Amino acid sequence: MTLDLSVAVGGVALRGPVMAASGTFGYGTEVPLLERRALGAMVSKGIFLKPRAGTPPPRIAETPSGMLNAIGLQGPGVEALIRDYAPRWAEWDFPVLVNINGESAAEYGELAARLDGVPGVAGFEINISCPNVEQGGLYFGNDPRAAAAVTEAVRKRTNLPVWVKLTPMVSDIGIIARAVESAGADALCAINTFVGMSMDLNAYRPRLSFRTGGLSGPAIRPLAVHLAHQAARAVGIPVVGIGGIARPEDAMEFLVAGCAAVQVGTATFVNPRAIAEVHDGIAAFLAARGLESLADLPRYLPRD
């Protein structure tokens, strides 16, 4: 029996369902001990039009089974990305999506237009869910009209696949998911980090200089499975599950919950081989149950 792990997600053909999540894989050149065979795709660190310094330290704080981060989308800007990284991506045997960010819908559109047609750029993940920037980010992600406006602004400027990464900081993720689908998104990524806070009891102030940070890691996994499932029930386009995946069975939970594929994030910080282990474990899971492809996997996705 040959096992087929390939899957098509919103116009992107993946050889396997496990991707590297934005912000946890740099631009693909930094991760040590990289096993490319296991990568379905990579999503780049979030990029703006212009370079950004990021937030002052401390930027990270460990919490029970998780971490808070407030990096503030430090990055070299789109021109440096095109010059320094895209040419390498063009030679790789897996697609690279660029995580794009802006302070206005127009800026997102500008970024998409600038990157459209650049060899090495296979598609976009619109970040309307970063909790660590003063302008934009989360603001676009928790308002259905703003989320749709950003999606539309990008959709108009590119024919490449457009994915939208959703925030969990909403009362009904289905409303945002549907708004973004109607605006032309090819797939959704659910979810980005939760906004959290932790106090330094010696200094009587927050442990992070930005005060709050995005919570990631196994701590958020059940919350993420639920939200990814809610999003998948709300829309017809594929949903990519993200949140606390460190082991194969974690990924399987998202797939059974209705996701087409998954992204592994924080686990890569701890275990540089996490993506390969998750990929291989999914293959073993399917093989052990006599399933020949992901299409054969039973999903729990009741439609109301």
Residues with a known catalytic role = 130
* Shortest reach from residue 164's CB to another protein, in Å: 23
Burial class (CB in 10 A: 0-12, 13-18, 19+), 125: buried
* Shortest reach from residue 272's CB to another protein, in Å: 6
Q: Which two tokens stand for residue 298?
A: 């039973």
Q: Are 171 and 142 in contact (CB under 8 A)?
A: no
Consecutive H or E run containing 139:
helix 138-141
Per CB under 8 A, does 214 bind another protein? no
Binding mask 28-67 for another protein (x = CB under 8 A): --xxxx-------------------xxxxxxxxxxxxxxx
Site for another protein in 164-203 (CB under 8 A): 200-203
Question: CA-to-CA distance for 173 and 232, rounded, in angstroms?
Answer: 10
Contacts of 123 (CB under 8 A, 6+ apart): 10, 11, 12, 95, 97, 98, 160, 161, 162, 163, 186
Nearer to another protein, 60 or 223 (CB): 60
Site for another protein in 5-24 (CB under 8 A): 23-24
Binding mask 79-118 for another protein (x = CB under 8 A): ----------------------------------------
* Shortest reach from residue 277's CB to another protein, in Å: 12
Q: Dihedral through CA 298, CA 249, CA 23, CA 68, nearest 10? A: 120
13 phi/psi in degrees, rounded to 5: -85, 120
Nearer to another protein, 3 or 49 (CB): 49
Question: Which stretches of the chain bind another protein, using CB under 8 A?
Answer: 23-26, 30-33, 53-67, 69, 71, 74, 200-203, 207, 217-218, 266, 268-273
